[in-house]
Structure 1
Amino acid sequence: MPAPTHPRPHNETLANGLRVTLRHVPGLKRSAAALRVAAGSHDVPLAWPGLAHFLEHLLFLGTERFPAQQGLMAYVQGHGGQVNASTRERTTDFFFELPQASFSGGLERLSDMLARPRMDPDDQLREREVLQAEFVAWSKDAAAQQKEALFEGLSAAHPLRGFHAGNRDSLPVEQADFQQALKDFHQQFYRTGQMTLSLVGPQNIEELRTLAEQFAAALTLGDKTEQAAPFRLMDNPQTSYQQVGERHGNLLFALEDLPKSSADALAFLCHWLNNAKPGGLLAHLQRQGLAEGLQACVLYQFAEQALLHLQFTAASGSLDTIRAQSLDWLSFFAAQQDWPALRAEYAELLQRQQQVSGALQLARLDSEQFESGLSESAVMALKAVLGKIGTVDNFSSHWHLPAANPFLRTAEPLANAGLIRGQTSAHRGLRTFAQDRSRSRRERSPMQFSQALPDNSDVGAVYVRWQTEAAATAELQAKLQHSLREVSGDARQAGVELSFSTTGNQWLLKVTGLQETLPAVLEHALKSLTQVGANAVKEEPQPPLIPIRQLLKALPEHCLPVVGESDDAAYLWTSSRWDGLALGLNPQTQSAMGLALSRIPGTPDNQLPAPSAINTGYLWRQIESASSEHALLLFCPSASHEIADEAAWRLLAHLCQTPFYQRLRVELQLGYAVFSGLRQIHGRSGLLLGVQSPTTSAAQLHVHIQQFLDGLPALIEQLDDASLALQRQTLADQFDDSVLSGKEAAELLWQARLAGHSSDYLLQLRRAIAQLGRPALLAAAQRLIRAEGGWHGLSSDPAPGAPWQAAK
């Protein structure tokens, strides 16, 4: 295993009281900031539930210096970054990621919006309606209500039992008392002593410190305000309770007076509770027919309190029996002497995950202040936690610790690639017949080892695609996904992401992550997929998705022609044809992939055509939804596969993003889920626009989207030459090698392969964007409006009528 490349962050407190964590990671392509305010929904005066969440929303609505169209959200999205915020019980988080060159501009906007929000009354009225729509959706969401019901066993005085969502009734923005409370909350908590800023990037520590000091200079000065201690979790001597749901059994442990490092201890405990390998709690419950699934998590933690939740899926056995078995396993776990092997594996997986994490993931991790393993103080805290749960010295003898994760073992160093027995690096210029034969086999292989990405990083990517004779039935899809569970979980812990999708007759296995582990993960995944048995798989019921997410999940399937179905896995594998793409792999990793490649089922085929997407006409598909809300996705593919058309569509999507959000969400108040962007599906690029609304029908949403698209030419004409050139350059820069992560570049190159482009696709795309003039962009807008590439509508509502045709 190479030496850790992500050392622990540097911590300090600036002169004005702002606490900062700074992490220098040389290999990163982007920088990220995570700002945590020590105040949340439980710190709000009882008279104004939802005030903290409301304030978080208001801060994004612009300042005098940076109006909403130039504020943080528009700025980050315009530079191809990520941005979001979250209000929890005792914290509020703001976080974003940007290319290094534009990072300081993001920090400038974040500090300005935190320190000098406009708090405009009209903005407040409009934003309250957004929270009202969120509240309506929340109140109808079964999963959200089930989570809320979990707190019913707690003391009525504890804030977890209170209402904190915020809605039209709890946020009387017209009242002077409410406005004063809003102002007081901002002044009390949004100041330097109450904040922690985490910065991560390729900049050195001194550069990051300078950025932090510039950020802090704009903030309101002030010492930390101690957050009020909550009431005890339970108002009786009990420390736990249980609840029975329709498909779930729940055990909850209310933990008080916890020692330091309890957060790390509970994270460690949940990790091993969730381990499904033989010898563990879940495997035993499944074997006894008591439950099919287990998920352990900490629902709440603040000060010296925590609420530990164990949820058992399809709990067919008595919850009392399940509780007894759970306490028996916890007693076995508590009896282990300081958990040396488990601690070593846990530390290794945390290190692996940091090694493959991007800037934003690392910044958010640093803001949580978790350790990189289980320290000695955390060991003592874990023993205290287990004691409070009620573990005993007597327990069953059938328990044993889980088998080690095979992908976390340090791999043996591979022999120098390209050398055979007796050769050394001095012979590298010599060729042998054996090497020539090996080279010719590789060149004929449908697995293309692309040189489009450099091979000197820790990470790589492998894509394997099959075209099958028929689509997999829903039951077979479930079996295939189930077969990968253990491999996928072990791989994720070892720094490799594994995904398998079956979309029509297009099956795709994608493996991305640490190179040293990637070949073994691919080999195990292929073995699991091709050994799917005939026995039915009982899948754990998943909570229903909100309508817009349901449509996003269904979209790729509905962009392919309809094909027949089969549940015969063996037939589909053996009759399939496959090809693949490997990116960023060094010679050692390529050499190690030989066994995995020999196990790929089906017939190798380097001439597999791209999926034949439906790309003409106006096709509308209604997706049944249990929700009463309305949702619409509109996917508008580019007029052709040509890179020039893709470049034009990308620039149109880039120009649309902020105005579309501003028009439909802010001005028209149509819904709280409003977005637009460029999406690639089966190699085809298209503009994707989505809205979910509690009151506006899909037909009406379509009218508003159509009107917006009809206004695109005018939007382009309004831009002066300098602004258009700046937008064009900003977009082109997003595809530069210095900005794209390996994972992002790999996905773009895979989509390029599906579209039939060459390996220099990224260079061609940047050039095509840079060459886009106003006439070509206006022509592309007209082709988009005329639906020359076809329009695909997915909705929870029926088709609105001509020119739309309901797809069968």
Structure 2
Amino acid sequence: MRPPPIDPVRPPLPLALPGGQRGRLIALPPGSRAAALLRVGAGSHDEPAEYPGLAHFLEHLLFLGSRAYPQARSLMAFVRGCGGRLNASTRERHTDFLFEVPADLLGEALGRLLDMLARPLLDIDAQLAEREVLQAEFQARGAERETLCDAALGTALAAPHPFGAFHAGNRATLPVERPAFQRALREHHRRFYQAGQSELLLAAPQRPAALADLLRATECRLARAPWVERRPPPLGLTAGRWLRLQSDGRPRLELAFAVEHLPAGGEAALDLLADRLTGEAPGGLASRLREAGWCEAIDLRTPYRFAGQGLVAIGLELTETGLSARAALVEAVCDWLRFFAEAADWHRCWDEYRRSRQRQLSCLGPLERVRYWAEPGAWSAATAEAAVRQALSALLGQMRRLRPLVLTCDRRPCEPRQAGGFPLRLDGEVPPRAEPRRWRWRQPEPNPWLRPAPAALPAAAIDPALRCLERGDTPGPGALFLRWRLAETPPGLWRALGAALRPTLWAARQAGVESRFEDGEGGWSLQLHGPADLLPQVLGALAGLLRAPPRAALAEALRRQADEAGDGGEMPIRRLLRRLPQFWTAESAAASRPQDLARAWHGARWDGLAAGLPAASSGRLQAALARLPGQPVRGDSAGLAPDAGLRWWQAADSGESALLLFCPLPSSAPATEAAWRLLAQLMEGAFYQRLRGELQLGYAVSCSFRQVGGRSGILFAVQSPSASVGQLLAHVEAFLDERQAWLQALEAAPLAEEKARLVARLADAASSPHELAEWAWQARLAGRDTGHPERVRAALERLRRDEAVRQLAALRAAAGGWCALANAPPPPGWRRR
């Protein structure tokens, strides 16, 4: 008997857990991976005031080994070894620990999670080393605009509140050597890391009874203790005040509102407001402000929220024109809030919001599901419309009652000052006057993709340029990948075209379709992931816009296209990661014009891959393909040419030293890829331990096998506040040299175990339609057929040590070329990209 279908909008079921701990279960279909999120109801605002950062520090320490699982066998090592995902975060009033693993390994991962939370080692030497990691993280965060904005907002509180205090932690605030600090650390752990203060959320394909048995079999338990009640003081934000923060990057304006005593439904009310306020639909707030030439994008964030209290910040990315019209912008946003509160059609807003969440929830993976449902007020099918409407009314009432605090971020000099532990350049300013303007707001037209799908077109044969993997026969997620090879790619045109597509891509995202439009070697690529029955409709709309976007929108996007200054306020390593796919793109000093798009499409050739699309959608899919610019490619295309040698791309020299070293495979043979994947797995944990733990170079350190625009290889990433880029490169090279002797001396049993783990990891990926589609697409970009992943798995099972040693030597010798992105000039022997 087939089990009933899973309802993605049904709230999690209560799950009985041993020891009195609260639990909830999200049922997943058979074959899914499993995920867990354990939320401890305590965060930075619960730490002792004399030790800022203690809660965040404890979160880090818990990963460094427990009584039953030393660091080499800890949760982090286990999850990495099985190809899972792992994360943790310390917020104001809670701390989350979450992972995703193959479903049959859920019990082993849970045992490690519970043991590390209940019985951490808290070794002093480990604490001293980890304190240096927090120091590096503190320095990196001190250059991030969002962190500095929060610190600036904290200065505007009328009375002491935890939000205005420093909680990041650094070398000065974490006196590990003092007995008083050790007592405070252990007391914080004893008080909050217990069953009554935590909740476990599971997303798994196992039945509830099987999960209950699994949890009862886990040896470790959190101690029994009651919930610790906490009541925060009033926020007391100084309304109507204007501040200015000196900051790199594009100008930004933030309007901050303090809210208190939000009723039940507040979580969904904030979510709904964000959906309406940031929407890109024609006639909406973002669209109108962009038409005025003032604003590029709008976001809404809540830097603090707890027990019905919160700080709501509406952010606007400004143009230079908008910077000089800040007063008018503030009035426009406040006027829109008045319109939304008084004149918007509530039933239409609620219907769209409900449909949007239904669409989005239908395609979330296990880890994303536990993140979503961890919030107790997240929208579900059981959410009462009346409660959300009442909470939204209370929220908007408070936001309209008092003038917002206004924070401007731009490059103009300000006086230095210390706030919230971070050095700021912050001044007050006299509020400028705004000329009255009547906006005559209107509600945008409904998103057509949130309505039932139109009638299917007659079945049609799909153009062979689009390779179709398995087709779904039931509603579910799907994927579409397209690539255009262009004879020439005018500079900036890809970015401008993406900006012109933004309203359509936003409407698709609201309906559950995630997209990526990227610039790569020799052309552009488009990726769509989401409800399979919707993808052909979205592609049809994008096809016409790609061929002929609104001329005014394209011209305006070209005029405003981002330059290096637009990268300010972001960690250097993140900037480099965003640029990695463009490493092989040719540069040109010539500017683009709207008419260059037609020339770019002339002679363009496209191919693609589809996965999970139902057979009934073939007619609509082929109709969309027929509208695409360019001509379809018949047959398999050639792979990318090897790029031997040492090539270097220097990004803007700003912030801490950051280096990406991407080492492509020297050959496309399955045996070569199998060996390099094994090498990446063997090096991942050791690289992290060496550069972050032992050398203490910085907070951002990683090593992994990556596929970038049709090139596969191993990526090393490091950001450091203390070492130069040249020194970082030397450390990576020294690490690789050390690995050669280590691999030759590695005993047969551990090597076989690592190989078996990787085989299982790849088999698990092959069982996931999303991961299989991604892998098959990368193989196609590289000129390989869709059977390549299976050949790699087979080659891995036959892989011998001598071949792995030989391939490590090829990696060290840069046999496939080395590609470096860094914010410093190249060392001798490297040629600029």
TM-score, length of structure 1 as denominator length:
0.91
**Cα distance, 1:583 vs. partner?**
2.2
The verdict on how the C-alpha distance between 1:790 and 1:457 changes in structure 2, with shifts beyond 3 A counting, is farther
Counterpart in the other structure of 2:822: 795
Over 3 Å counting, the alpha-carbon distance change for 1:21 and 1:336 in structure 2 is: farther
C-alpha distance in structure 2 between counterparts of 1:591 and 1:577, whole Å = 22
Match of 1:462, as an amino acid?
L
Q: Aligned residue for 1:371?
A: 379
**Which 10-residue stretch deviates more, 687-696 or 536-545?**
536-545
Greater mean deviation of Cα atoms: 263-272 or 83-92: 263-272
Alignment of 1:732-747 (within 5 A): 732-736=759-763, 740-747=767-774
Aligned: 1:326 with 2:326: no
- Contact 2:31 2:767 survives alignment (8 Å): no
Q: CA 1:7/1:326 → structure 2, altered by over 3 Å: closer, same or farther?
A: same
Residue matched to 2:449: 407
What secondary structure is seen at the aligned counterpart in 1 of 2:762?
coil
The whole-number CA distance in structure 1 between the counterparts of 2:637 and 2:585 is 14
The equivalent of 2:556 in structure 1 is 536
544-553 or 188-197, larger mean C-alpha shift:
544-553
Q: Is the 8 A contact 1:241 1:252 kept in 2?
A: no
Q: How does 1:538-577 map to 2 (within 5 A)?
A: 538=560, 541=566, 543-559=568-584, 567=592, 568-577=596-605
Cα–Cα, structure 1 residues 508 and 368, in superposed 2: closer, same or farther, change >3 Å?
same
1:34-53 equivalences in 2 (<5 Å): 34-53=37-56
**Identity level (%):** 39
Q: Which moved more, 1:144-153 or 1:552-561?
A: 552-561
SS at structure 2 position matched to 1:692: strand
Mapped contact 1:154–1:233 kept (Cα < 8 A): yes
For residues 704-729 of structure 1, the C-alpha deviation after alignment (integer angstroms, 9 at most, x for no partner) is 21121122233323433232222112
The answer on whether the counterparts of 2:118 and 2:220 sit within 8 Å (CA) in structure 1 is no
Separation in structure 2 between the aligned mates of residue 604 and residue 284 of structure 1, nearest angstrom:
38
Matches within 5 A, 1:573-588: 573-588=601-616
Change (3 A) 1:738 1:505: closer
**Residues 311/28 of structure 1: CA separation in 2 closer, same or farther (3 Å cut):** farther
Cα–Cα, structure 1 residues 655 and 754, in superposed 2: closer, same or farther, change >3 Å?
Answer: same
| Alignment partners' CA distance in 1, 2:628 and 2:32 | 33
Alpha-carbon shift at residue 3 of structure 1 (Å): 8.5
What is aligned with 1:427? none
> How far is the alpha carbon of 1:539 from its aligned partner?
5.2
Check 1:707–1:323 CA distance in 2 against 1; reply closer, same or farther (3 A cut).
Answer: closer
- Establish whether residue 668 from structure 1 lines up as the match of residue 668 from structure 2: no
Q: Name which of 134, 155, 165 aligns with 2:137.
A: 134
Between 1:668-677 and 1:555-564, the stretch displaced more is: 555-564
Rounded to whole Å, the distance in 1 between the matches of 2:30 and 2:210 is: 16
Aligned twin of 2:467: 448
Structure 1 residue 146, shift from structure 2 partner:
2.6
- Name the CA shift for 1:710/1:675 in 2 (closer, same or farther; >3 Å): same
CA distance in 2, matches of 1:243, 1:212: 52
Which one of 672, 690, 697 corresponds to residue 645 of structure 1? 672
2:542: which partner in 1?
A: 525
Amino acid at match of 2:265: S
1:86, distance to aligned residue in structure 2 (A): 0.4
The residue that corresponds to 1:225 in the other structure is 228
Q: Distance in 2 between matches of 1:502 and 1:598?
A: 23
Alpha-carbon distance in structure 2 between the residues aligned to 1:154 and 1:232: 10
Q: Indicate which of 452, 475, 488 corresponds to 1:470.
A: 488
1:367, distance to aligned residue in structure 2 (A) = 1.1
CA deviation profile, 1:324-382 (whole Å, cap 9, x unmatched): 33333222222358811211111111111111000000011111121225632222111
- Residue 60 of structure 1 is matched in structure 2 by 63
The corresponding residue for 2:395 is: 385
Letter in 2 for 1:570: A
1:307 partner amino acid:
L
The reply to whether residue 398 of structure 1 matches residue 402 of structure 2 is no
- The alignment partner of 1:110 has SS state of helix
2:519 corresponds to 1:502: yes
- For 1:359, the equivalent position in structure 2 comes to 366
Relative to structure 1, the CA distance from residue 504 to residue 647 in structure 2 (aligned partners, 3 Å threshold; closer, same or farther) is closer
Residue number in structure 2 paired with 1:430: none
**Other-structure match for 1:433:** none
- What is the CA–CA distance in structure 2 between the aligned matches of 1:613 and 1:734, rounded to whole Å? 29
Structure 2: 5+ residue runs without aligned partners?
Answer: 403-436
Mapping of 1:612-627 within 5 angstroms?
A: 612-627=640-655
Q: 1:15 to 1:670 in 2, by over 3 A?
A: closer
Letter in 2 for 1:388: Q
**Per-residue deviation, residues 765-786 of structure 1 (Å, max 9, x unmatched):** 2111111111221222222222
**Where does 1:644-793 land on structure 2 (aligned, <5 Å)?**
644-736=671-763, 740-793=767-820
Q: 2-side partners of 1:607 and 1:724: how far apart?
A: 40
Q: Distance in 2 between matches of 1:230 and 1:215?
A: 36
Using the TM superposition, give the Cα deviation of residue 251 of structure 1 relative to its aligned residue in structure 2, in angstroms: 1.8
* Partner residue, 1:458: 476
State the TM-score, normalized to the length of structure 2: 0.88
Flag structure 1 segments of 5+ consecutive residues without an equivalent: 418-437
Q: Deviations over 1:582-628 (max 9, x none)?
A: 2222211222212211111112222564453452122233222321x
- Supply the AA of the counterpart residue of 1:573: W
Q: CA RMSD in A?
A: 2.6
- Asked if 1 retains the 8 angstrom alpha-carbon contact of 2:755 and 2:796, the reply is yes
Q: Structure 1, residues 162-204: CA drift from partner, whole Å, max 9, x if none?
A: 1111011100000011110001000000001110111001112
8 Å CA contact retained: 1:576, 1:603: yes
Which structure carries more relative contact order (alpha carbon 8 Å, separation 6+)? Answer: 2
Corresponding residue for 2:434? none
- 2:411 corresponding residue in structure 1: none
Which AA in structure 1 matches 2:535? L
1:308 and 2:312 matched: yes
Distance 1:170 1:4 in 2: 48
Q: Does structure 2 retain, via aligned residues, the 8 Å contact 1:16–1:216?
A: no
User: Cα gap change, 1:65/1:305 in structure 2, threshold over 3 Å: closer, same or farther?
Assistant: same
Q: CA deviation at 1:739?
A: 5.8
Task: Say if 1:92 and 1:62 are closer, same or farther in 2 by CA, change over 3 A.
Answer: same
> Which residue of structure 2 lines up, in the alignment, with residue 258 of structure 1?
262
Rounded Cα–Cα distance in structure 2 between residues aligned with 1:776 and 1:572: 44
1:154 aligns with 2:173: no
Q: Compared with structure 1, are the counterparts of its residues 792 and 283 closer, same or farther at alpha carbon in structure 2 (3 Å cutoff)?
A: closer
CA shift digits 1:199-228 (9 cap, x unpaired): 00111222233344455952122111112x
For residue 94 of structure 2, what is the aligned residue in structure 1?
91
Match of 1:270 in 2: 274
- Equivalent position SS for 2:224: coil
Q: Residue 183 of structure 2: which of 171, 180, 185 is its match? A: 180
**What is the rounded CA distance, in whole Å, between the counterparts of 1:356 and 1:636 in structure 2?**
33
Correspondence for 2:357 among 346, 350, 375: 350
